[in-house]
Amino acid sequence: MKAKKMARSYEQKADPDRITPVEYSGPQEAFDHFNLELFDGSLPDVFITYQRKAHSHGYFSADRFSGRSGEAHHHELALNPDAFIGQTDKQILQTLVHEQHHVWQHAVGKPAPRGYHNKEWAAKMKSNGLQPSSTGMVGGKETGQHMLDYVIPGGRFEQSYERLADTGWKLNLESAHRPGPKGLFLPLRNSDCPDSIGLIFSLAANLQFGDRFVISLGHIRASRVKSASGWLSETASEFDPVQAGREPSHSQGWADCGQARRIDRRIFP
């Protein structure tokens, strides 16, 4: 008996319940919605992907894909599902729109080299109801290599998101929880600050010798290990409060939502 030929995945009849088209249609629908309402439909088509890139909620990469038959290149806009945990749909779409501004600048503006967030990008963000901030809080710098942002109350983004949410739009999936390395790992969003900082250091004061203590704040990550001689710096990137093995004191600080902060010495042995 002749074996029945199996239909390839792209030849099969579309199933509305298949997980890939269902889940990827959500970000695409949101992209199209904000493209029309915030960018007057000026954004080119992009390939929206989910990418687990460390220390990144999302990114835009121009001409990341090309057709295998010689077609034109296509841009990528990636979202990190690891960052969805603990975030509302509004916060996730805030990341999407942040990256859409990079798409806009690449298409019709003058982007700075190496992903720098320049004044043109910042001005467009503000006009669309997102305030650029190097700290994610009021008063942060509006331009720089690594930028966060916060929602301007009543601004265009907030109003546009509410209209999208009223249609019943929502995301369904996020990365599954997996235990991290042994020790205490506490990722913080800027919206957690500053109240959580005091809690974190209170917990740190109760750690046992040999325990690991990690703070992750956006692109800033610092890891500390408690030893019999005090706190030792294990790893640090972009901010190192313990230089040459010195412990923090009132004249030194730690990372508080991207800014230096004075910490009471009694927290440390």
- Domain tally, the chain: 2
Same-domain status, 83 and 32: yes
* Beta strand residue intervals within the chain, DSSP E: 46-50, 58-66, 73-79, 130-133, 148-151, 184-188, 212-217, 220-227, 230-237, 253-256, 259-262
Name the nearest CA neighbour of 109 among 50, 60, 51: 60
CB atoms within 10 A of CB 215: 23
Domain that holds residue 194: 184-267
Read off the amino acid at residue 98.
H
Residue 116 inside a domain? The answer is yes
- Is the predicted pLDDT of residue 44 greater than 90, yes or no? yes
Are 78 and 53 contacting, i.e. CB atoms less than 8 angstroms apart?
Answer: yes
Residue 178 inside a domain? The answer is no
**CATH code at position 37:** 3.30.2010.10
This prediction has a pTM of: 0.65
d(CA 132, CA 126): 7
Q: Report pLDDT digits (tens) over 191-218.
A: 444 444 444 444 444 445 444 444 444 4
d(CA 118, CA 107): 15
pLDDT band at 232; cut points 50, 70, 90: very low
Same-domain status, 132 and 193: no
Same-domain status, 203 and 159: no
Residue 179 inside a domain? The answer is no
Same-domain status, 149 and 191: no
Q: For the chain, percent helix, then strand, then coil, each to nearest 5?
A: 35, 25, 40
Residue 190 inside a domain? The answer is yes
Residue 159 inside a domain? The answer is yes
Residue 76 inside a domain? The answer is yes
The torsion angle over the Cα atoms of residues 108, 114, 118 and 124, rounded to 10 degrees, is 40
Same-domain status, 160 and 190: no
Same-domain status, 208 and 151: no
* Collapsed DSSP state (helix, strand, coil) of residue 196: helix
Residue 91 inside a domain? The answer is yes
Same-domain status, 129 and 25: yes
Phi, psi of 264 (to 5 degrees): -65, 130
Q: Report pLDDT digits (tens) over 79-120.
A: 999 999 999 999 999 999 999 999 999 999 999 988 899 999
d(CA 265, CA 269): 8
Are 143 and 132 contacting, i.e. CB atoms less than 8 angstroms apart?
Answer: yes
Q: Report pLDDT digits (tens) over 149-188.
A: 999 999 999 999 999 999 999 999 999 988 766 544 444 4
Same-domain status, 53 and 149: yes
Average pLDDT, the chain: 73
Final residue of a structural domain among 165, 192, 208: 165
Residue 176 inside a domain? The answer is no
